[in-house]
């Protein structure tokens, strides 16, 4: 399978991750860029479903979209990436959000529904390894150690392997409680993909959106994992960094260094990642270099995708989805998600590359 380097197509945000500062809108509207205060003339409703980690960005996009399109309603159900892909492929939603690209079976099903599938990255976001251990504020963990913790081979916080990389921490003789997603999840798939690539034999499980290890604590959605870690002591989990809140976050071993998450560090991993060819002209799926040792790179990231059709049955739906996608990838939309979700926005170069895919959204193939 031929692949193309992604190169430097992710622009770094001007500010680091910020807490969501807008009121949560249950619905919102279209094409914010370039419209005047009287609205776009569009009207109607579209509904999407997918990644819970995309919820903060979707709220920001909805709010900006509503400003210029007061007669359009956009709904987004954060049911998880797996559920979002299933609904989109099955025709249960007008668009999808996913933290993993469609697998071969899903892609084939989506093409039956859609004609050519539009599958574009909307932002890059770090996945934080979050923890709550009384008296411990900072934590360095190598990928092998993270793998052993989540594979339940390291069971105590004062284990010598953890202590070796945290000589100044007062690690308690306390049981580790790993928290994972109970639902099929793109965040899980990205996290497991990292463990498989970076931890070697210490992570023997195959990559999947379903958590492979039995016996830990399971929680529904990103918010469920964050809540479970927050409410415990000795807990550790993984979540989109925009929702980590005040929890401790792990500095991850990369080469000889330990790297904290940031949008900038997350974006760097894409400089050595590649686009997958052979999925269609409008699919922009990427293989990520999870095992990089490049200095200053944070390798636990997700590329969040938006899914749409080139051939909707209803031309009005097609116009609304196209307008909403145009707002999502616009400079204004990208800044909104960066400010409110702490993500790394796409660059002008990538926007130019994916614009023909958005233009292809329509009611004919």
The answer to whether the predicted template modeling score (pTM) of the entire model surpasses 0.75 is no
**226 & 132 share domain:** yes
Residue-level pLDDT at 42: 94
Domain contains 351? yes
Over 70: is that where the pLDDT of 15 sits?
A: no
**177 & 240 share domain:** yes
Range of the domain at 308: 44-125+266-288+300-363
Residue-level pLDDT at 342: 82
Over 50: is that where the pLDDT of 287 sits?
A: yes
CATH of the domain at 62: 3.40.190.10
Query: What distance in Å separates the CA atoms of residue 360 and residue 305, rounded to the nearest whole number?
Result: 16
Question: What is the average per-residue pLDDT within 155-182?
Answer: 97
Residue-level pLDDT at 273: 81
Residue-level pLDDT at 337: 92
pLDDT band at 9 (very low <50, low <70, confident <90, very high): very low
Residue-level pLDDT at 365: 47
**168 & 111 share domain:** no
Domain contains 318? yes
**272 & 243 share domain:** no
Domain contains 37? no
**237 & 198 share domain:** yes
Over 90: is that where the pLDDT of 24 sits?
A: no
**202 & 315 share domain:** no
Q: What is the residue-averaged pLDDT of the chain?
A: 88
**243 & 139 share domain:** yes
| Poorest-pLDDT segment among 44-53, 157-166, 340-349 | 340-349
Residue-level pLDDT at 40: 67
Domain contains 38? no
Over 50: is that where the pLDDT of 6 sits?
A: no
Residues in Cβ contact with 168 at an 8 Å cutoff, skipping those fewer than 6 apart: none
Over 50: is that where the pLDDT of 25 sits?
A: no
**109 & 227 share domain:** no
Residue-level pLDDT at 20: 30
Domain contains 36? no
Domain contains 31? no
**229 & 316 share domain:** no
**114 & 172 share domain:** no
Question: What is the average per-residue pLDDT within 341-352?
Answer: 84
Across 3-12, 297-306, 340-349, which has the greatest mean pLDDT?
297-306
Question: What is the average per-residue pLDDT within 265-291?
Answer: 87
**109 & 134 share domain:** no
Domain contains 112? yes
Residue-level pLDDT at 39: 53
**276 & 176 share domain:** no
Pairwise pLDDT comparison (325 vs 338), residue with the higher score:
325
Domain contains 28? no
* Overall domain count for the chain: 2
């Amino acid at each position: 399978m031929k692949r193309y380097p992604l190169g430097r197509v992710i622009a770094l945000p001007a500010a680091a991750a910020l807490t969501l500062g807008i009121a949560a809108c249950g619905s919102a509207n279209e094409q914010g860029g370039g419209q005047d205060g009287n609205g776009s003339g569009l009207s109607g409703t579209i509904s999407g479903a997918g990644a819970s980690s995309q919820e903060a960005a979707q709220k920001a996009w909805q709010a900006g979209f509503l400003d210029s399109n007061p007669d359009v309603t956009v709904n987004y159900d954060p049911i998880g990436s797996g559920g979002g892909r299933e609904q989109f492929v099955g025709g249960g939603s007008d668009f999808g959000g996913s933290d993993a690209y469609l697998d071969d079976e899903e892609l084939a099903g989506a093409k039956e529904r859609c004609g050519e599938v539009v599958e574009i990255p909307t932002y890059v976001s770090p996945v934080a390894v979050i923890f709550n251990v009384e008296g411990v504020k900072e934590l360095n963990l190598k990928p092998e150690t993270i793998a052993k913790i989540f594979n339940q081979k390291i069971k105590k916080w004062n284990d010598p392997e953890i202590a070796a990389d945290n000589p100044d921490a007062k690690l308690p003789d306390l049981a580790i409680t790993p928290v994972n997603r109970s639902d099929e999840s793109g965040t899980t798939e990205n996290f497991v993909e990292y463990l498989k690539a970076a931890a070697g034999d210490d992570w023997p499980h195959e990559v999947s959106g379903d958590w492979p290890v039995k016996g830990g604590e399971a929680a529904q959605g990103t918010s469920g994992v964050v809540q479970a870690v927050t409410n415990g002591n000795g807990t550790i989990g993984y979540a989109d960094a925009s929702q980590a809140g005040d929890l401790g976050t792990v500095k991850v071993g990369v080469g000889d260094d330990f790297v904290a998450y940031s949008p900038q560090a997350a974006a760097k991993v894409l400089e050595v990642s590649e686009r997958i060819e052979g999925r269609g002209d409008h699919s922009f799926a990427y293989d990520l270099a999870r095992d990089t040792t490049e200095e200053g790179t944070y390798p636990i990231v997700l590329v969040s995708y938006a899914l749409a059709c080139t051939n909707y049955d209803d031309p009005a739906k097609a116009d609304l989805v196209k307008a909403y996608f145009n707002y999502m990838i616009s400079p204004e939309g990208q800044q909104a998600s960066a400010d409110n979700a702490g993500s790394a926005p796409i660059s002008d170069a990538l926007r130019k590359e994916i614009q023909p895919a958005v233009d292809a959204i329509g009611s004919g193939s």
